[in-house]
Amino acid sequence: MAATVMLSVPGTLRYRDLAVSVVSEAARLVACSDDARDAFGTAVIAAFSEIFNNVAIHAYQRKGGGTIDIAIKPTDRELVIEVADHGNPFDLGEVPPLPSDIDEHSLPEGGMGIYIAKKMLDEVSYEPGPPNLWRLCKRLPGGVRANTRV
């Protein structure tokens, strides 16, 4: 069974890069080839960064006051990341969808983070708490040989 990496950081953006660096290394444990590693890591980092932003901004209102508890589970086929907080719950239903046809006049200035996370990952779920819990999952594409070294 693969190990679970646990990380708990203060719920502010100051600690985002630290958390992203740990997730980035965990992503490298799952994907083996250079091509697969680059694409897999790019998707995971982009998505996780947006979710971390969301927690720090919406759950903790940019004030901190709690922790962001991250459980990272690399297996031979996927990377699962659980992000828990004890801040304000987030209403996914309030996130406006991206316009179906984006042109100069409909360029969005917000609401893109969740969209990016959903598009980059295979699964994104959220359960309001406490603790509020995001569950993110990225799988290796079919045919890519896994090389989990944990």
Partner 1 sequence: MPTPAFDVSRSDDSTTLIVRGSLDINTAPVLADEIDRIIVDKPRFVVVDMTGLDLIDSSGVAALVKLYKGVRAAGGEVMISGARDQPLAIFKLLRMDKVFNL
Q: What are the residues binding partner 1 (CB under 8 A)?
A: 13, 16-17, 42, 45-46, 49-50, 53, 57, 98, 102-104, 107-110, 112-113, 115-116, 119-120
Nearer to partner 1, 9 or 45 (CB): 45
Residue (49 or 132) nearer to partner 1, CB: 49
CB of 25 to partner 1, least distance (A): 16
Instruction: Identify whether 89 is preceded by a cis peptide bond (ω within 30 of 0).
Output: no
List Cα–Cα distances, 107 to 38, 46, 50, 98, in angstroms.
28, 20, 19, 9
Phi and psi at residue 130, to the nearest 5°: -90, 145
**Shortest distance (Å) from residue 33 CB to partner 1:** 17
- Residue 50 Cβ vs partner 1, minimum distance, rounded to whole Å: 6
Q: What distance separates the 2 farthest-apart alpha carbons in the chain?
A: 51
Closest to 134 in 3D by CA, of 76, 89, 101:
89
Residue 92 or 112 with smaller CB distance to partner 1: 112
Pick between residue 3 and residue 18 the one whose CB is nearest to partner 1.
18
Q: How far is the CB of 61 from partner 1 (least distance, A)?
A: 14
Q: For the CB of residue 123, give the shortest distance to partner 1 in the complex, in Å.
A: 17
Nearer to partner 1, 91 or 145 (CB): 91
For residue 57, count CB atoms less than 10 angstroms from its CB and return exposed for 0-12, middle for 13-18, buried for 19 or more.
Answer: middle
CB 44 within 8 A of CB 138: yes
